[in-house]
Amino acid sequence: MKKVSLILAIVFGLFNIAEAQTETVPASGSGDCLTSKKGCKILPESGDYAFGIDATPIFNLIGNLTKINSGTTFTDPSSFNFMDGTNSIYAKYFVDESTAYRGKIRIMVNNTKDVEFVNDVTSTSIPPLQVKDVESSFSTGIVLGGGLEKRKGKTRLQGFYGGEALLFYSTNSTKYTYGNALSPTSPVRTNIFDPAMDGVISDKSGKTFGIGARAFAGIEYFFTPKIALGGEFGWGINFNTTGKGVMESEEWNFTDGDVKKITTETAGGSMLDIDTDNFGGSIYLIFHF
């Protein structure tokens, strides 16, 4: 509720800024042309390019800076779904005032490392000495989309609708290094990060590919010439398929008196989803030039 109030406050502020600008519609010309008091055209026209960014992180930042959640993190209700526009970059090319080709791209690369101290199993001191266990995770995600957009409206408030197709690709892998060596007295390592991964040194998921198509509708409000705050909702279908992965683990081999490495193939899967998207709200800023 507090996030909604913040967004409404910002929107009303932009509305007041826009209303403070004198607008004129030239009597001559081929059609209506909304302009500012300085004569700048407010709405996009044929041949214009547009570049947009997801504004949700901006609202989150403002929420955190103003402590709108009483000191707690300002949360984003939107969960990740490659069909929506979360954290995406938008681009458009206007064929005419009411038609635009649009595209979106998201390239995500995440590399995290978690270090934890655990007791040294060979230590005889009190308290025992400690060693480091390390979890290293690496993931990538790429979303590409393109479609056609139709627009309606002659004022600062513009409605739009259309359809687009999307492609998705992702990978994920995790590696573990342990401070305690395997031995007859410590034949299996305990994974402090995930008990279900005891002894695992590497877990590489299969590659995920996805395709989708969605219909969308939304609005944009031009609070200043060629700059708008917009939002959209959509409904679509997407299909994801994930290949087989590989998991490697180690344990002590009492027969050979050495460390034994075990390689296990993990199953993949697929998913077909038909649903609305952006139900948490996709708010963006878009610039035309």
**Strand spans (E) along the chain:** 49-54, 89-96, 99-119, 130-152, 157-177, 200-204, 208-224, 227-242, 245-253, 258-266, 269-288
**Structure confidence at residue 145 (pLDDT):** 94
At 211 the pLDDT is: 96
Q: Which amino acid is at 98?
A: S
Q: What is the pTM of this model?
A: 0.72
d(CA 35, CA 23): 5
DSSP string, 70-113: TTS-----PPP-TTS-TT-EEEEEEEETTEEEEEEEEEEEEEEE
Q: Across-strand partners of 73?
A: none
Whole-number Å distance between alpha carbons of 100 and 148: 6
C-alpha 102/C-alpha 212 separation (Å) is 16
pLDDT confidence of residue 195: 87
Residue 23 confidence (pLDDT): 54
What gap in Å lies between CA 107 and CA 109, rounded to an integer?
7
- For residues 276 and 207, the answer to whether their CB atoms sit within 8 Å is no
Tell me how far CA of residue 183 lies from CA of 121, 122, 140, 201, 249, in angstroms: 10, 10, 36, 16, 15
**Could you state, in chain order, the average pLDDT of each consecutive group of 10 residues for the chain (289 residues)?**
47 49 46 76 94 69 49 40 62 95 92 94 91 96 95 93 96 95 89 90 95 94 93 92 95 90 93 79 83
C-alpha 47: how far from its chain's center? 30
Domain locations along the chain: 2-288
- Cα separation, 169 vs 210, in Å, equals 6
pLDDT at position 74: 39
Residue 33: per-residue pLDDT:
74
